[in-house]
Amino acid sequence: MARIAFIGLGHMGGGMAPNLAKAGHEVRAFDLSEEALAQAVEGGCIRAGSTEEAVKDAEAVITMLPAGKHVAEVHRDHVFGKAPSSALLIDCSTIDVATARSVEEDAAAQGYAMVDAPVSGGIAAAAGGTLTFMVGGSDEAFARAQPILDPMAKAVIHAGGPGAGQAAKICNNMILGATMAATCEGFAMAKKLGLDLQTFFDISSKASGQSWSMTSYCPVPGVGPETPADHDYEGGFAAALMLKDLKLAMDAAQSSGAYTPMGAEAEELFQRFVDRGGGSKDFSGIIKMIDDSWKVPEE
Ligand code: NAD
């Protein structure tokens, strides 16, 4: 069992860190929020008073932070030179590919092995230990990261070299944003054309319009499996986070010269939904904006 430092115990990290403790690891946890830290301690983690205290003597350092600037700052100011150089650094946050690569380069220059390991699956999967990890880094670093990530995972997949995990994550979420918007449009038009929506689901979920957004996460209340649509779009994956990922995808498209008109359209739609007050709703709630008969939030 390993000594693991866990930094960032919010919606995601707060579920993940206790799963490592349950698996028998010694988890020294730190968060700027006292409340988040107290919950992790209740979940079996050991309280650290700072990132420096958490990473001292650590064999692995896991970060689950909001954005690239937090990941860069925490590593450059509080991890590099403070954790033993033998420690494996694992960043599970969703951040831009350029920052991920630059922090990984700095880590290597300081003698650390590091991987980017963003996740798919929301708060429930974090708490349940069923996340999918997409890992970018060397073969050696991946082999060291895998057994550490396993207690938090349904799957741990090596995506490629440094930054490849973040690249896979934003390409995946760009597809998700676009297919969700297209699925909402399809149902909205089906309704206007007088189709029964359960009947349309039965047809399209077995025809070529099928996608995860339709069959596993149908945006229409009462149709398909139980989803956030059945709870007025509460819980699930917040539209604000989808917008964050689409912005990361558009940055990556620009820097790599990729042509992504559907991704750009999805970003604009989710921006409008967030501007209208939908940011904390599940991202499938965008159906409310696409068809006003699902109640459009006031502008
Ligand atoms: P969150 O805001 O709930 O948690 C982030 C935590 O980091 C907070 O508790 C905050 O206090 C802490 N923090 C910030 N700066 C810190 C610092 N310098 N030192 C220590 N702690 C610090 O965010 P979240 O929902 O847990 O998401 C974390 C990451 O996971 C994000 O990059 C997000 O995009 C990604 N993600 C989230 C979901 C989801 O459904 N919430 C799903 C997949 C991926």
Express each pLDDT in 19-54 by its tens digit.
999 999 999 999 999 999 999 999 999 999 999 999
Ligand 1 proximity of 241 Cβ (cutoff 6 Å): yes
Ligand 1 proximity of 17 Cβ (cutoff 6 Å): no
Atom 13 of ligand 1, nearest CA residue: 8
The two structure tokens encoding residue 86: 């033998």
35 CA to middle of ligand 1, Å?
14
Number of Cβ within a 10 Å radius of residue 202: 13
Contacts 24+ apart (CB under 8 A), 212-215: 212/176, 212/179, 213/176, 213/179, 213/180, 213/182, 213/183, 213/284, 214/179, 214/183
**What is the rounded CA–CA span in Å between residue 97 and residue 94?**
9
pLDDT at 298: 45
Which letter does DSSP use for residue 284 in this model?
A: G
133: Cβ–Cβ under 8 A, 6 or more apart, which residues? 92, 117, 118, 119, 149, 152, 153, 155, 156, 157, 165
Ligand 1 proximity of 228 Cβ (cutoff 6 Å): no
111 CA to middle of ligand 1, Å?
26
pLDDT at 122: 82
* Ligand 1 nearest-atom number relative to CA 93: 32
Q: Kindly tell me the number of DSSP H helices and DSSP E strands found in the chain.
A: 13, 9
Ligand 1 proximity of 189 Cβ (cutoff 6 Å): no
pLDDT at 173: 96
pLDDT at 293: 64
Q: How far is CA 63 from the centre of its chain?
A: 13
Residues 60-86 as b/e (b if ≥16 CB within 10 A, e otherwise) read bbbbbbeebebbbebbeebbbebbeee
Atom 8 of ligand 1, nearest CA residue: 10
Q: Backbone phi, then psi, for 106, in 5-degree steps?
A: -60, -40
Ligand 1 proximity of 94 Cβ (cutoff 6 Å): yes
230 CA to middle of ligand 1, Å?
26
Contacts 24+ apart (CB under 8 A), 118-124: 118/92, 118/93, 118/94, 118/165, 118/166, 118/169, 119/12, 119/92, 119/94, 119/169, 120/169, 120/172, 121/154, 122/236, 122/237, 123/11, 123/12, 123/15, 123/235
User: Residue 198 carries which side chain, given as an amino acid letter?
Assistant: Q
206 CA to middle of ligand 1, Å?
37
Ligand 1 proximity of 9 Cβ (cutoff 6 Å): yes
139 CA to middle of ligand 1, Å?
27
Ligand 1 proximity of 70 Cβ (cutoff 6 Å): yes
Atom 14 of ligand 1, nearest CA residue: 65
Low-confidence ranges of the chain (pLDDT < 70): 293-299
pLDDT at 124: 86
